[in-house]
A and B are shown apart, each in its own frame.
Chain A
Amino acid sequence: MAFTLYSLLQAALLCVNAIAVLHEERFLKNIGWGTDQGIGGFGEEPGIKSQLMNLVRSVRTVMRGKKKNCEWHHQLYCPDAQLQKIPWIFWRNLPSLLHFHIILVKHLCGGPTIAFYLVSSPFFRAPVAQWLRSVNKRCPLTSEYYFSRLRGASVMIKFVTNTTKESKQDLLKRLKKLEFDISEDEIFTSLTAARNLVEEKQVRPMLLVDDRALPDFKGIQTDDPNAVVIGLAPEHFHYPALNQAFRLLLDGAPLIAIHKARYYKRKDGLALGPGPFVTGLEYATDTKATVVGKPEKTFFLEALRGTGCEPQEAVMIGDDCRDDVGGAQNAGMLGILVKTGKYRAADEEKINPPPYLTCESFPHAVDHILQHLL
């Protein structure tokens, strides 16, 4: 890298500038340059004054980052992969001696991302990219933050999950511990769906579910059963219990399956899920179970019930292409597949029609919704 006099000059000027803006609170305000001006939309011709204000903000956030607070980073976030791709073009509108600027690089890097953007000088490019990368590592973009952004928008949020052993209360506790601001009535699980169906059919179920799931069935009559609810409950999948369920089914009791997963991963290897046992009972009794969890259409429609929201107005974000995205789209919603969690490469090709959108993570999904769907 050429260490020219020009770049040295740039560096020196920048440092002077930075020091000056650090004292912005104390003296820039006094000359009438407040901090309440917006960054301005992309494409607008920013005045010299607002460009200077952007510079001020940039440096200020950089300094703030040195304290433990990661909040600011969300304003600057640019994924590592995109850092490589940003075309380092000259920002002609800037006075040539000022080189830091924040712009929306939406159209440049293909994502609705606000990036910290250094222009014109190759001297700064590598160190800044390096620094941003280290920041990314230190302060990963958090889903909590983006969740709170979604919360701030005028949308209704529901949490839908295919749990068979975690009651709503336990799930709520776990999410709260992770600092998601959620209330119980926003959670809709496959257990909720099963309970709703039991209430609707007015039956007394034999509950082949994990003991931890029992709180979700509190108040439901279970003596002298005339229905069978089956979830993931290895401790109940022994011959006498299944035979009892079988006899009830032969007598016409409905079979309600919380979901039909074939198997799941356990510490000691793969283990049978509820699906095989449901299938066995279906075969023995020549009946069909009503499956209530994802990807059933009714699951998604039930989740929307009472929200006043039509399927066409809803978006499902999930990591399971078939169960989350496919199921939701089948119910008329838009499905967004995120490449986190159980996502495996090329999952998005597993369904037809394909996901409405596939993106890196929940934050990107939220960005998309806020930008394009509201």
Chain B
Amino acid sequence: MAAWRERLAGVRGVLLDISGVLYDGGAGGGVPIAGSVEAVARLKHSRLKMRLCTNESQRSRGELVGLRRLGFDVSEAEVTAPAPAACQILRARGLRPHLLIHEGVRSEFDQIDTSNPNCVVIADAAEEFSYQNMNKAFQVLMELENPVLISLGKGRYYKETSGLMLDVGAYMKALEYACGIEAEVVGKPSPEFFKSALQEMGVEAHQAIMIGDDIVGDVGGAQRCGMRALQVRTGKFRPSDEHHPEVQADGYVDNLAEAVDLLLKHAD
């Protein structure tokens, strides 16, 4: 298909979303999406550069590499995740966070001073998004003269094997509304986050393509950075995404396997 050749011409690097593209999370570590394990392997053995670019903030990168147990040949060094990026910001600005995060990602913040907090960091805390914990974060923010809320991603929802799950974005919006503030988002779709992933991969934006299941966070965010982006019809994909009022992907594919097929065929 000529159209694909045009659309994929000049691609040298690929950013992959993890959840909903490589696997569907859930009890017992989740299940890989059919064809994805092989697709990642083929991509790694091709001329194309590859990097994982995730908003996953429930698990540390160390744990993320639990992907290996599902058969994916990936290492911690290949993952761009928001928690380390947030730590950098916290250190640079001398912020001491109150952490509203999942136990799984706490180890990423081991080196951060959390006493006498002067900001709030919110990540996908899942079950730990209780009223009490939300209220604690709210009270910390309300007591600050200049409240700073840092959110690891602002996804609306993601998919687990049991169904769609509320993501950190909903809770970030809740705190924004309650305190009348705007959060700083670390992670997709923030341009800085994509840029750091590109830098780590060593590819210019116009030579890179993002493959994700989130029409706004993955596709829209990458396009705003000058990248191209494909949406897979797996994970949180919903048919209405293909007629999204604001974002139009450079292509829609059934899954990662199809995306990699097309890339290997048409990209340089």
List A residues at the B interface (Cβ < 8 Å): 234-235, 237-240, 242-243, 246-247, 250, 262-263, 269-273, 275-277, 279-286
Q: Judging by beta carbons under 8 Å apart, are B134 and A237 in contact?
A: yes
Decide yes or no: A246 and B130 within 8 Å by CB, A272-B135, A276-B175, A284-B157 being known contacts: no
Q: Judging by beta carbons under 8 Å apart, are A284 and B134 in contact?
A: no
- Does B127 interact with chain A (Cβ within 8 Å)? yes
Decide yes or no: A246 and B164 within 8 Å by CB, A275-B177, A276-B178 being known contacts: yes
Residues from chain B with a CB closer than 8 A to the CB of A246 are 157, 164, 166, 170
List B residues at the A interface (Cβ < 8 Å): 126-131, 134-135, 138-139, 142, 156-157, 163-167, 169-171, 173-180
Q: Judging by beta carbons under 8 Å apart, are A262 and B166 in contact?
A: no
Q: Judging by beta carbons under 8 Å apart, are A263 and B156 in contact?
A: no
Q: Judging by beta carbons under 8 Å apart, are A240 and B178 in contact?
A: no
* Among A250, A272, A275, contact of B134 (Cβ-Cβ < 8 Å): A272
Q: Judging by beta carbons under 8 Å apart, are A276 and B156 in contact?
A: no
Q: Judging by beta carbons under 8 Å apart, are A272 and B166 in contact?
A: no
Residues from chain B with a CB closer than 8 A to the CB of A271 are 135, 138
Residues from chain B with a CB closer than 8 A to the CB of A250 are 157, 164
Residues from chain B with a CB closer than 8 A to the CB of A262 are 177-180
Q: How far is the CA of A270 from the CA of B138 in the complex (A)?
A: 9
- Secondary structure of the A contact surface, majority rule: helix
* Among B130, B138, B170, contact of A280 (Cβ-Cβ < 8 Å): B170
Least CB distance, B67 to chain A, in whole angstroms? 24
Residues from chain B with a CB closer than 8 A to the CB of A237 are 130-131, 134
Query: For residue B238, which residue of chain A has the nearest CB?
Result: A250
Query: For residue B180, which residue of chain A has the nearest CB?
Result: A262
Query: For residue A234, which residue of chain B has the nearest CB?
Result: B131
Q: Judging by beta carbons under 8 Å apart, are A284 and B178 in contact?
A: no
Residues from chain A with a CB closer than 8 A to the CB of B179 are 262
Residues from chain A with a CB closer than 8 A to the CB of B164 are 246-247, 250
- Secondary structure of the B contact surface, majority rule: helix
Residues from chain B with a CB closer than 8 A to the CB of A240 are 127
Q: How far is the CA of A34 from the CA of B129 in the complex (A)?
A: 76
Q: List 22 A-B contacts (CB under 8 A).
A: A238-B131, A239-B126, A239-B127, A239-B129, A240-B127, A242-B170, A269-B139, A270-B139, A270-B142, A271-B135, A271-B138, A272-B138, A272-B178, A276-B138, A281-B170, A282-B173, A283-B170, A283-B173, A284-B170, A284-B173, A285-B156, A286-B156
Q: How far is the CA of A271 from the CA of B166 in the complex (A)?
A: 22
Residues from chain B with a CB closer than 8 A to the CB of A269 are 139
Query: For residue A262, which residue of chain B has the nearest CB?
Result: B178
Decide yes or no: A239 and B174 within 8 Å by CB, A247-B163, A284-B169 being known contacts: no
Least CB distance, A261 to chain B, in whole angstroms? 10
Decide yes or no: A276 and B174 within 8 Å by CB, A238-B130, A239-B129 being known contacts: yes
Query: For residue A269, which residue of chain B has the nearest CB?
Result: B139
Query: For residue A235, which residue of chain B has the nearest CB?
Result: B131
Q: Judging by beta carbons under 8 Å apart, are A275 and B178 in contact?
A: yes
Residues from chain B with a CB closer than 8 A to the CB of A247 are 163-164
Q: How far is the CA of A227 from the CA of B157 in the complex (A)?
A: 19
Residues from chain B with a CB closer than 8 A to the CB of A286 are 156
Q: Judging by beta carbons under 8 Å apart, are A272 and B131 in contact?
A: yes
Q: How far is the CA of A286 from the CA of B130 in the complex (A)?
A: 22
The 9 closest A-B pairs by CB, nearest first: A276-B174, A280-B170, A280-B174, A284-B170, A279-B177, A283-B173, A276-B178, A237-B131, A284-B156
Query: For residue A286, which residue of chain B has the nearest CB?
Result: B156
Query: For residue B138, which residue of chain A has the nearest CB?
Result: A272
Residues from chain B with a CB closer than 8 A to the CB of A285 are 156
* Among A239, A272, A283, contact of B156 (Cβ-Cβ < 8 Å): A283
Residues from chain A with a CB closer than 8 A to the CB of B180 are 262
Q: Judging by beta carbons under 8 Å apart, are B177 and A243 in contact?
A: no
Q: Judging by beta carbons under 8 Å apart, are B166 and A243 in contact?
A: yes
Residues from chain A with a CB closer than 8 A to the CB of B138 are 263, 270-272, 276
Query: For residue A281, which residue of chain B has the nearest CB?
Result: B170
Q: How far is the CA of A277 from the CA of B173 in the complex (A)?
A: 8
Q: How far is the CA of A15 from the CA of B173 in the complex (A)?
A: 73
Q: How far is the CA of A286 from the CA of B241 in the complex (A)?
A: 12
Least CB distance, B27 to chain A, in whole angstroms? 14
Residues from chain A with a CB closer than 8 A to the CB of B163 are 247
Residues from chain A with a CB closer than 8 A to the CB of B169 are 283-284
Residues from chain B with a CB closer than 8 A to the CB of A270 are 138-139, 142
Q: How far is the CA of A239 from the CA of B129 in the complex (A)?
A: 6
Least CB distance, A277 to chain B, in whole angstroms? 6
Q: How far is the CA of A282 from the CA of B173 in the complex (A)?
A: 9
Q: How far is the CA of A347 from the CA of B141 in the complex (A)?
A: 25
Q: How far is the CA of A242 from the CA of B130 in the complex (A)?
A: 10
Q: Judging by beta carbons under 8 Å apart, are B130 and A277 in contact?
A: no
Least CB distance, A140 to chain B, in whole angstroms? 35
Q: Judging by beta carbons under 8 Å apart, are A277 and B156 in contact?
A: no
Decide yes or no: A239 and B130 within 8 Å by CB, A270-B142, A271-B135, A284-B169 being known contacts: yes
Q: Identify which of A237, A277, A280 gathers the most chain B CB atoms within 10 Å of its CB.
A: A280
Q: How far is the CA of A269 from the CA of B136 in the complex (A)?
A: 10
Q: Judging by beta carbons under 8 Å apart, are B139 and A280 in contact?
A: no
Residues from chain A with a CB closer than 8 A to the CB of B127 are 238-240
Query: For residue B173, which residue of chain A has the nearest CB?
Result: A283
Query: For residue B154, which residue of chain A has the nearest CB?
Result: A283
Q: Judging by beta carbons under 8 Å apart, are A242 and B166 in contact?
A: yes
